[in-house]
Structure 1
Amino acid sequence: MRTEPVKSVGFLLVLLAGTVLVTSCSLNQIAINAVANVLSGDGGSSTFTTDDDPELVGASLPFALKMYETLLEQTPDHEGLLLATGTGFISYANAFVATPASMLSYEQWEKQQADQIRAKKLYIRGRDYLIHALHVRYPGFTDALESTEPDAVEQLQLILDEMDTDDVPYLYWIGAGWVAAFSLDAFDLELAFTVTKAHALVLRALELDEAYSDGAIHDFLVQYYASLPPSMGGDKEKAEFHHQRALELADGRLAGPYVSYAESIVLPRQASVEMGEDLNAYAAGIQAVADEFVALMEQALAVDPDAYPDARLVNILTQRKARWYLEHLDEFFLLDFDTEGDAF
């Protein structure tokens, strides 16, 4: 049940005041837990996700995240607050650090690199809060996840088998943060050697609730299977399957599946267009890939953000990226092609 924002804010202020006034340690802990419950409830998150002003949300989230961390110092095992903090850091890193960095010009290369390093740290920070949350729920989870012993995989699987649908958000967001961090630094050997563990967690989430968050798990797996080489588990056929399922579950309400597919599957296809002696055929092949890419971006832009308030913010942000792609199409496709000579 969603909490009304105005009531949440009023109640929160009363509770925060209470933490200052009480002197008993037990009462103070009760007050802190009550604040944590309010902040980690559905009402708190929907205040952000239903907003139509990305700049306002982007400016507000750092303060909210530091407030969460302050509370976690007093109540470090609060599962709901750990979930809110972990997902908050990962969401902030993606929406307001990594994605804007990916859209910077070549002249801003140094800033892009700095922002990507920052985003990687934020992804890992969020992931680690969520790992701790599952450790609270399942003692031994962290040890099994981090172990390099021969039986580590078996031990981790035993714990995963105990989990239920309540654990799906933790599993999904751990995997999302883990893989996102790796995508920004493929030369990080620790991430490279452990990314398969992130995959295992996401697959368990898929088994428990494939429809979670309107198909978010399937959309994640599109990008996972499409971006990795076969030696690391990449599989284009699986990516295609998960894209179709993501579309079915989103039911036209989300722009994300169109952009994810365009980025992960369609854009790389131009590399498979053979450049033979017939330059006209090559140019036509590149144009066909570009046309499909554009069509997907236009489908993303056709989604009405107000038709599905729960995903209003993410749709607005995704559509912003789709527009950017359309405005910078010539940076991704060699469209001005001289079929009498060379590309120009």
Structure 2
Amino acid sequence: MRGASDKARAPRRIGFGDTIGRWDFKLAPYLYISPFFIVFAIVGLFPILYTAFISFMDWDMIRGTGSFVGFEQYEYVLTLPKFWIAVRNTFSIFILSSVPQLIAAVFIAAMLDQNLRAKTFWRMGVLVPYVMAPVAVALIFGNMFSDKYGMVNNLLSGIGISPVPWHVSPFWSHIAIATMVNFRWTGYNTLILLAAMQAIPRDLYEAATVDGAGKIQQFFSITMPSLKPTLIFVIITSTIGGLQIFDEPRMYDQTGLGGPDNQWLTISLLLYQTGWGDWDFGQAAAIAWILFLMILVIGVINLLVTQSVVADTGSMDRKTRKKMKADAKKLQAEVKARKKQQLAEAKQAALVTTGATDERN
């Protein structure tokens, strides 16, 4: 009777508390990350969309309104010779700063990954330029690269080299500005790459040493393939920052206009002059969106190229790592076997010595 009554018993109904628990389990992760998306929507997404809206308007700053003009602002910007000079200067400074910066960051990170004395001191030391204010860095280097009384030209004159026109020639002005960028950002990228290097398993290096690989071969066979995900991040962030460069060219001279002949005028500097100098916010918004699309396209290209390189060498890297791990395990097993053999031989020698002593007695 009892079994029959249990079978006929109605199924247990899910109570309100159980429902709340399920909703809490499902929604809690989204609630935890919601502050980030709310703040991003307010300070990130809304300005982007509002800038896009203004770019299609002939905006009146005083009234806060404007008339719709469609793509006229974009057409005018793209036919402006000054804009293409700014594009050329921006890409020139970007290439002169990003490529040496990445190479130097990898090299310095590899040096800091070694067994050095005062590791913390050296690792914090490379970050000091990043902590400095960009305006201070620009002012210091602007005076160093002064045409008449700059320290660099004084040193060149001291060794018999004619002074360099740092504020006249576009190329040399780009070199000077790229030097500022490299000085400030190399240490930041170095610490990111150093953290990635320290996450590489050390048994890979031990196995490579057993196989007879030197330091240079280990660097290119183990370190560089393992750094590729981090290099993707560093390259993309360097691309975004390099194309948005503003502080260094702005503070390179006292006028802040990009040079008398626009020698170091960048897109961000042109945007600033158009918006706050000419009070043409519709045109400035169009320049901002063109810059945004350029960064987006170049960032996607960098991502695809880097991922293709990773995909081409990924299978080889996995095979190399598996082989090295297997060699490391084999080496550990051999070491353990040798220790056991030595221990057994020591015990046997002790027994022989003990037996010989007993026979003498």
How does the TM-score come out when normalised to structure 2?
0.24
Higher relative contact order (CA 8 A, sep 6+): 2
